Structure 1
């Protein structure tokens, strides 16, 4: 029998569902169809001008036309240290920072560095679609712990304890959450962190939405709130969401110096340094004010309220009000199995994946089904799009879903 053309390890990777939905929506738009895309977690604002200008100026400097240290420009690493202390109160050294090609590489590097084959990683669910794939690529086993809307999608210590085995090595912790927008309270963060510390677990905390919270809800870094974790915590972050820089591809990981050194060795063979021009742009971003994100938050908050109200007006849809990020995670289990009239006859979607496909075909609205993030029965919608598009998209959903029988 001939050998497989693609390795089993890579063949097992699932395509990023969020990027797939976004790509299909953009392709349909390019073909002239009026698709409204709620798929990608991408602010619709331009990158602030002073950041762009920093990149323009850097592009003309020959020193940035050359290789730079694989772990990141020294001045950017120090600026990340200063920014982290400013924003979350966590104190680190430049030797504890690795600058990566976007947040996804930080995720990959972290699990590749910490996980041995068979190690288990507790993954609160719903989860961002990339986490379990990165864990599996490292030979690890993602252990899903699901919290539904009745818990505001927030897991409890009791659930985590029930998932613990002798193979558990890491707890993944994400607040504010993608895909749900849920935010753990300071008390919940402390309780979960102390539990992880008492079990000797590593904690990998993704803090990329740290500046996007609403209704006076604070962001709490588990690394700062629980010093008992010691040197068994890795912080993931980046400039993409805070500064509308998704396409610039600059993220980072902060952790113990030995772990960062090992991850830097990996990156030196995988990609070497992040492009210098985006690194200089990121330096301007993290060293500058938070004015841009404060302005974006006003729009996000307005859109958050509008989309929650619009979705909850649909019979069969229950949408908790998120306290962070720019997503809603709607419970659509009440619509599954219902009848929808289409040009091709009556359709009864049994899963949220089938429902999402039906919505795109019938009313040209792109949403991401819950299967991308855990159990079926939910839809994730990003409200990081223009107010007019949001209103149009919600109206289409109301018109179509409201006719379910």
Structure 2
């Protein structure tokens, strides 16, 4: 242990003695590492910002059916069983999703709102259910504004049907559970329990609905085939294959797959660019460190031979240039962090007018810095090993021959 500490002290003293050469090697290392950090931070910042924008809006993951269909249990079972599916709930005909809502108290005007079914796992809930029971409703921000309602307010809902020239309204009492942020959903919509939206369609088709106390000329029968659905992919990369599976079932869809594919392609291309540039720069750094360290060992062969005469074993002689290689690499990385900090401020300021609140053109996580430091040490390893073996091969007799 004492020998190792002594070698470290000698390595530091030797670097200080050759401070000009050491400084040149440190600057050279920083000149390679700092641009790589800036390039990776820019790639990470741009890609992360774009992907975060997509993931922040669950509607990006939605597969929207075009038109009405006759979809039975087999379709929903097959779609729900696919690994790409994140959320699926059956929906009725669009014409059956209309409901008139108003506040239960007073004489508030009725608002014509579209109903959509929701269920546990709804992406718009961002990890929690939109509603907890059948008597609740979640409102989009537009619907809440239209009704002047918020969480806890009681609403009166009216579902109408026409029979024999007469309009027959059916009422239902609902409680607002929450309001969906406008950033997640724009339209004026009420998210309700699937039972309510199914009951509305059955009632309009002339069926009685015992669960809600609505009369009808036909006995209640549950819906056997649904006209539509709400379907969300599990992740961005799942949108295209899931939409293709839906189309294979004969259903035309609209998705954001093209937009997603463009951003994912940009991320892949930036990764490839960074890999190519980083590989070339890393090879240059390894070569420069190796050349500088080997040249340094050659200059110090007499000093290493004298150390051998003084009793330093070959292992300690090898550790001398290896310690110097590690110290130079760490010093170069430290200088590169300072250069990166200045460059990051300049880049962020340049792109600031193009960015929204909370967005960053350049960004790195703490573990990125740790990984970059370890990578720098790894790049110094070839020169450390080469110079270490060369130093260990120095014979003490070389010192005697030069006396």
- Do the structures match in fold with TM over 0.5? no
Task: Please classify the TM superposition score into its range, dividing by the shorter chain length.
Answer: under 0.3
**Structure having the larger proportion of residues in helix:** 2
**Larger RCO: 1 or 2 (CA < 8 Å, sep 6+):** 2
